[in-house]
Amino acid sequence: RASAVATLLAETDESKLPLVQKALAAETDDGLREQLEMVQAAILLGSPDVAKRLEAARMMADGRNRNTKTVLLERLRVEEDPKVKAALSASLVKVDERLAWGNRLGAMFSGVSLGSILLLVALGLAITYGLMGVINMAHGELMMVGAYATYVVQGLFQTYLPGGFAWYLLAAVPASFLAAALMGAALERTVIRHLYGRPLETLLATWGISLMLMQLARTVFGAQNVTVENPIWMSGGVQVMGNLSLPFNRLVIIGFAFAVLLGVAWLIARTRLGLFVRGVTQNRPIASCMGVNTARVDTYAFALGSGIAGLAGCALSQIGNVGPDLGQSYIVDAFLVVVLGGVGQLAGTVYAALGLGLLNKFLEGWAGAVLAKIAVLVFIIVFIQKRPQGIFAMKGRSAEA
């Protein structure tokens, strides 16, 4: 039916109108009905009868199809009757208003989508940098580890369990978390542990590790990007307006990001590990005197932050290709989110991620991607100059420490 409607979109012969009206009366799909209504109006606009053209011009005002504006503009150029031209102009204004709202809502959705990705990327860094004070330049490569773990799980399902491929993400999510967490724990045990309190050396060491991990990925998986397929239930999207479609994979990632956020907040606030992490963060010597194994807590906390980075990599694999340079695209933005939100503040990370995502997408529509990025960076520089502690400042013993 969709292909038949597509062949009618360019139809202007009035003799085909009964056929279109019959199809319209029988059609139940909302999207196809909208297209048939536009075909009907386009045919009537070509009628020699002024009354029919006037009726069609008014019908087009309620059109939700993205091609409605094109049809109106084409007819407006050749229409001679002043009443019909006035009706076409009025319909064009209404269609423009509807399209503008679609563009605004689309920019808002894109901003929330980008913000949710930044949130996932920055949550792990909020723990390793915000709570532990470790400048981990290999955080992006830990995301890459999670993305490649998802790719490996996908390959295993395609080879050994093709019937369950639609649900491979249920195995890929814990696999990506564990792969990145184990890598992070090994990194903390072998390198980071010996560099606490030495930020410059930590930065240089983790940067070197990031280069090693990228080269390892090139050696194992090749220098070219690899593709991770979406499960069938993440394909397609929801058509909200004529020019606004919400992809299922983006909707799932938004929900996944906030589910991870709730899990991290619960872990930090309600569990024994979270209590130990907060205690060591606030006052390491006293926590050690109270019997807390601070070295073990450091390893667990770093592994947790690294595992969350792996989850971010798993999510990113669903909206783009996976390659050795995947982490380099997000590491700077992740640090910006953590610093802007307030070091050690999960709530600030949420506000900063969503705020930067929305600001970036709205500015892109006005100034383009490059100028939007520059404007966002200038805004962050000015904001940090005025409020160095970020959106949410640390309070009490945390601030004193």
* pLDDT bracket for residue 92 (50, 70, 90): confident
Which of 97-106, 170-179, 201-210 has the weakest average pLDDT?
A: 97-106
Higher pLDDT, 319 or 396: 319
Higher pLDDT, 169 or 12: 169
* pLDDT bracket for residue 181 (50, 70, 90): very high
Is it the case that residue 372 has pLDDT exceeding 80?
yes
The mean pLDDT value for 214-224 works out to: 93
- Summarize pLDDT for 284-315 with one digit per residue, the tens: 888 889 888 888 998 999 999 999 999 999 99
d(CA 266, CA 108): 28
**pLDDT at site 261:** 93
**pLDDT at site 99:** 81
Helix axes 294-316, 139-160, angle to 10 degrees: 60
197 dihedral zone (left: phi>0; alpha: psi -120 to 50; beta):
left
**pLDDT at site 90:** 82
**pLDDT at site 245:** 82
Is it the case that residue 32 has pLDDT exceeding 80?
no
Is it the case that residue 84 has pLDDT exceeding 70?
yes
Cα-to-chain-centroid distance, residue 351: 15
Higher pLDDT, 191 or 72: 191
Is it the case that residue 35 has pLDDT exceeding 60?
yes
**Percent of the chain at pLDDT above 90?**
32
Is it the case that residue 219 has pLDDT exceeding 90?
yes
From residue 98, alpha-carbon distances to 95, 104, 293, 369 in Å are 5, 10, 60, 24
**pLDDT at site 184:** 94
Which of 7-21, 214-228, 358-372 has the weakest average pLDDT?
A: 7-21
Is it the case that residue 347 has pLDDT exceeding 80?
yes
- Nearest CA among 130, 292, 140, 303 for reference residue 217: 140
From residue 332, alpha-carbon distances to 67, 135, 320, 351 in Å are 40, 12, 19, 17
**pLDDT at site 311:** 95
**pLDDT at site 393:** 64
- Nearest CA among 147, 286, 327 for reference residue 276: 286
* Top mean-pLDDT range of 70-84, 218-232, 331-345: 218-232
**pLDDT at site 307:** 95
| E strand or H helix that includes residue 240 | strand 237-241
**pLDDT at site 218:** 94
Higher pLDDT, 16 or 174: 174
- For 293, phi and psi rounded to 5 degrees? -80, 90
- Summarize pLDDT for 124-178 with one digit per residue, the tens: 888 888 677 788 999 999 999 999 999 999 999 999 999 889 999 999 999 999 9
**pLDDT at site 395:** 57
b/e map 185-213, b = 16+ CB within 10 Å = bebbeebbeebeeeeeebeebbeebbeeb
The mean pLDDT value for 197-205 works out to: 89
**pLDDT at site 6:** 56
**pLDDT at site 107:** 86
**pLDDT at site 138:** 93
- Nearest CA among 378, 386, 349, 392 for reference residue 126: 349
Helix axes 82-125, 139-160, angle to 10 degrees: 100
Higher pLDDT, 49 or 199: 199
